[in-house]
């Protein structure tokens, strides 16, 4: 049995998926290949990574406040 209610499990799953995508984006931005991307697109990708990190933090806060079931 899950320790979370269904809506809580969806938040946990969403954060896991988001963190995986953020990790891939961050790795790409740190790679030599990213230098081939136009500067404006690099800026947008960096902004996207920043916003994804903020969302991940927010989801983490929500999860940390879930009460055990």
Q: Is residue 1 part of a domain?
A: no
Q: Report if residue 69 sits inside a domain.
A: no
Say if 10 falls within a structural domain: yes
Residue 20's pLDDT is: 98
55 falls within a domain: yes
Distance of CA 29 to the CA centre of its chain: 15
Q: pLDDT at residue 68 above 90?
A: no
8-65 residue pLDDT tens:
999 999 999 999 999 999 999 999 999 999 999 999 999 999 999 999 999 999 999 9
The answer to whether residue 26 is domain-embedded is yes
Q: Does residue 45 lie within any of the structural domains?
A: yes
The domain in which residue 52 lies consists of 6-64
Is position 52 within any domain? yes
Residue 20 burial by Cβ neighbours in a 10 Å radius (0-12, 13-18, 19+): exposed
Q: What is the pLDDT of residue 1?
A: 58
Please report which confidence band the pLDDT of residue 69 belongs to, taking 50, 70 and 90 as the band edges: confident
Q: How many domains does the chain have?
A: 1
């Amino acid at each position: 049995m899950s320790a979370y209610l269904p809506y809580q499990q969806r938040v946990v799953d969403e954060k896991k998926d988001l963190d995986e995508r953020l990790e891939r984006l961050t790795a790409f931005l740190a790679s030599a290949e990213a230098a081939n991307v136009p500067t404006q697109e690099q800026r947008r990708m960096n902004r996207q990574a920043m916003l994804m990190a903020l969302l991940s933090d927010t989801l983490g806060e929500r999860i940390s406040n879930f009460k055990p079931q």
